[in-house]
Amino acid sequence: MAPASWVSQSNAQRYSQWLIVRTNSRRVDRKRCTIRSSFLLCTLFLFALSAGLVSSAAQAADGSPTPAAPATAALPPPPSELGILVTTGKLADLRWPNFTDRQADVAEFYTSGGYALVWVHDGQPTAQAQTMIRLFKQAALKGLHPEDYDASRWDSRLAALAPSDPHPSDSILAHFDLAVTVCAERYQDRAQEI
């Protein structure tokens, strides 16, 4: 489920906030990231160690074995089409289908919203999705190559969501949503370099 503060926000605001947070986090120098990662690992280790000690102490107190708490692991993405595609890091519909270089950011983006579709509402592209697609098609105005953002493929993707099919499949919706997200990631990263 999406955080309560995101329920009232538009997709564009949510995506903008996410991009700002992600961009700012990339600006942190690597040494601080390494220290933060080391601190996190140490904290997790100490937590695991203390949980084991508490479990041993509880067993010794009454002499009966206490079942160990199940190990906590990272939750896998939901078994949805979108979750599976994000996990594989490939979307065959894209001109450049392999997005493993952006996979962590894409996964973080969808995880933060509970793997809900962002660019589609009631089976139709949102106004924000339409705006992003126009940006992709006009990428040459920014000195970018429109085909790097699937410019020639968007019309057929939009046609698949046309009102003539009132209920596009979940697969079509997931592919469309992920295509917009991956292309937006690529566009944003390249536009910052220019």
Domain boundaries, the chain: 1-73, 75-194
| CA–CA dist 97, 140 (Å, integer) | 21
Tokens 């979108």 found at: 82
How crowded is residue 139: how many other Cβ atoms within 10 Å of its Cβ?
A: 20
Top-confidence range, 3-12, 37-46, 145-154:
145-154
d(CA 142, CA 139): 5
Q: Which residues pair with 98 in a beta bridge?
A: 90
Tokens of 62: 């009454």
Rounded to an integer, the average pLDDT of 35-62 is 41
The whole-number pLDDT of residue 50 equals 43
Mean pLDDT over all residues of the chain?
75
Give the model's confidence band at 194: pLDDT under 50 very low, under 70 low, under 90 confident, else very high. Answer: confident
**Whether residue 54 has pLDDT greater than 60:** no
Best CA proximity match to 91, nearest among 183, 190, 3, 178: 178
In a 3-state reduction of DSSP, which class is residue 98? Answer: strand
